[in-house]
Amino acid sequence: MPEIKIKGGKRLSGELCIQGAKNSVLPVLAGTLLCDGECIVHNCPEISDVDISLKILNFLGCGCKREGNTVRVDTSGMNNDEIPDSLMREMRSSVVFLGAILGRTGKAVISNPGGCELGPRPIDIHLSSLEKMGVSIKEEHGLLYCTAENGLKGADIYLSFPSVGATENIILAAALAKGKTVIHNAAREPEISDLADFLNSAGARIYGCGSDYIEVYGVERLNSTQHTIIPDRIVAATYMAAAAVTGGDITLCNVMPSHMVSTLSVFRESGCIIDPHGKSIVFKSPERLKRVPTVRSLVYPGFPTDAGPIIIAMLTVANGTSVFVENIFESRYKYTDELKRFGAKIKTEGKVAVVEGVERLSATAGKCTDLRGGAALILAALAAEGESEIGEIQHILRGYEDITGNLLRIGADIKLD
Ligand code: UD1
């Protein structure tokens, strides 16, 4: 696997267009399984998680074609309802295929995605919700055999936590189910509304996404359709932070400022000037970033857990001490050990990270531990004096399209080596 080499300390300035959202495109690609004929998905980022989703679709018998950022999926040849363990393991969010396969065929075999990248990631809420819809689930040798003997039926479901993936799985399973499904305490993330917009454009009847009360009226069939994926709000935050740690400025196009209210507020508190205009943001960093009052990750519209590593990396060079509280995942601070190699002063205990800003970071070799933690290392390297090397970048490639090319375009001294 190549490494990313960065000579830090260069001020970044320029304009970037933001890729489609990873967390939208994955459930939308799963959702194509529910549609008859060919679906066309635009603004589909070239990232490895999308490649894995396409591999899963291929394995299930679907035809997939990519032309630039447009992907065509023809599900008419689907002849399989099992996802092999090797593909399940490659991407934890592959679990979102479960609701879609069940919706299409009434049965599915997947393995437990498990894993510990951010601490335990159980799927109990997904499974108990699907059981309420008539699915019986047997676990044998690490495989989950899921069957809806009499077809999926609508249900009244209360989520004990507003899980993003569980909300998506239920919507996917409910779109073609018999009768009405209600989700109480549903997740409200914009990527869920994007999935519903895609399915509704194919003829589904899904109402209330963006609120915590979602209704899905099952329909007989879904048609082929076209859909454009919303911009990735976490990638947008990453490029703003890249400008911020180098004292630079950046104009982002293809962004949705309304999806980023909590994140923009933290950037503003650190002294950045942010000017949203329609689907673009003009961003300028202050001479020295300021400490910010305690930031807490929360479910949407709260501060996104995925932007935590990005903001923490930025605060390592702010003036003063800031506190971050991680409320969504149990163990999301592994990357902070790598940030410390750059000279960052961070102490973590349980959910809390205390970041004491320093004047300067210094270049070093770091290894990515996960996707957003990897992005945090890139930010540290951009801010640091000297040449840094970042390894294990396969984590970054899961979610960032051409990150080296983009940073190069706005003035970074960066190469993939
Ligand atoms: C999605 C996002 C991920 C983001 C996360 C929270 C995708 C592909 N990934 O992940 O980038 O960080 O939302 O915004 O969209 N939980 C359970 N049981 C379950 C399901 C979840 O206990 O059955 C717990 C999880 O362990 C975690 C919390 O709920 O602590 C949030 O998880 P969830 O909202 O489901 O996140 P994902 O859908 O996995």
Whole-angstrom distance, CA of residue 406 vs CA of residue 190:
25
Please tell me if the CB atom of residue 164 comes closer than 6 angstroms to any atom of ligand 1: yes
Which of 53, 192, 328 most suits a substitution to test ligand 1, by most atoms within 8 Å of the C-beta?
A: 328
Minimum-distance ligand 1 atom for the alpha carbon of 299: 14
Minimum-distance ligand 1 atom for the alpha carbon of 120: 26
Average pLDDT, the chain: 96
Domains of the chain, with CATH numbers?
A: 4-19+231-416 (3.65.10.10), 22-228 (3.65.10.10)
pLDDT digits (tens, 9 = 90+) for 335-372: 999 999 999 999 999 999 999 999 999 999 999 999 99
pLDDT for res 93: 82
pLDDT digits (tens, 9 = 90+) for 293-344: 999 999 999 999 999 999 999 999 999 999 999 999 988 999 999 999 999 9
pLDDT for res 89: 86
Minimum-distance ligand 1 atom for the alpha carbon of 191: 15
Burial class (CB in 10 A: 0-12, 13-18, 19+), 368: buried
How many angstroms separate the alpha carbon of residue 204 from the centre of ligand 1? Answer: 24
Whole-angstrom distance, CA of residue 174 vs CA of residue 217:
7
pLDDT for res 116: 55
Please tell me if the CB atom of residue 163 comes closer than 6 angstroms to any atom of ligand 1: yes
Q: Write a three-state SS string for the chain.
A: CCCEEEECCCCCEEEEECCECHHHHHHHHHHHHHECCEEEEECCCCCHHHHHHHHHHHHCCCEEEEECCEEEEECCCCCCCECCHHHHHHCHHHHHHHHHHHHHHCEEEEECCCCCECECCCCHHHHHHHHHCCCEEEEECCEEEEECCCCCECCEEECCCCCHHHHHHHHHHHCCCECEEEEECCCCCHHHHHHHHHHHHCCCEEECECECEEEEECCCCECCCEEECCECHHHHHHHHHHHHHCCCEEEEECCCHHHCHHHHHHHHHCCCEEEEECCEEEEECCCCCECCCCEEECCCCCECHHHHHHHHHHHCCCECEEEEECCCCCCCCHHHHHHHHCCCEEEEECCEEEEECCCCCECCEEECCCHHHHHHHHHHHHHCECEEEEECCHHHHCCCCCHHHHHHHCCCEEEEC
* C-beta atoms surrounding 396 within 10 Å: 24
Please tell me if the CB atom of residue 305 comes closer than 6 angstroms to any atom of ligand 1: yes
Please tell me if the CB atom of residue 306 comes closer than 6 angstroms to any atom of ligand 1: yes
Just list the catalytic residues.
Answer: 116
Please tell me if the CB atom of residue 170 comes closer than 6 angstroms to any atom of ligand 1: no
Please tell me if the CB atom of residue 94 comes closer than 6 angstroms to any atom of ligand 1: no
Q: Whose CA is nearest to atom 29 of ligand 1?
A: 163
pLDDT for res 246: 98
Minimum-distance ligand 1 atom for the alpha carbon of 304: 14
pLDDT for res 392: 97
Please tell me if the CB atom of residue 28 comes closer than 6 angstroms to any atom of ligand 1: no
How many angstroms separate the alpha carbon of residue 172 from the centre of ligand 1? Answer: 16
Dmax of the chain from CA atoms?
A: 64
Minimum-distance ligand 1 atom for the alpha carbon of 187: 34
pLDDT for res 91: 86
Q: Whose CA is nearest to atom 37 of ligand 1?
A: 165
pLDDT for res 114: 60
| Spans of the chain, pLDDT less than 50 | none
Which of 161, 194, 327, 332 most suits a substitution to test ligand 1, by most atoms within 8 Å of the C-beta?
A: 161
Q: Whose CA is nearest to atom 21 of ligand 1?
A: 163
- Taking alpha carbons only, the member of 240, 243, 195, 188 closest to residue 214 is 188
How many angstroms separate the alpha carbon of residue 13 from the centre of ligand 1? Answer: 34
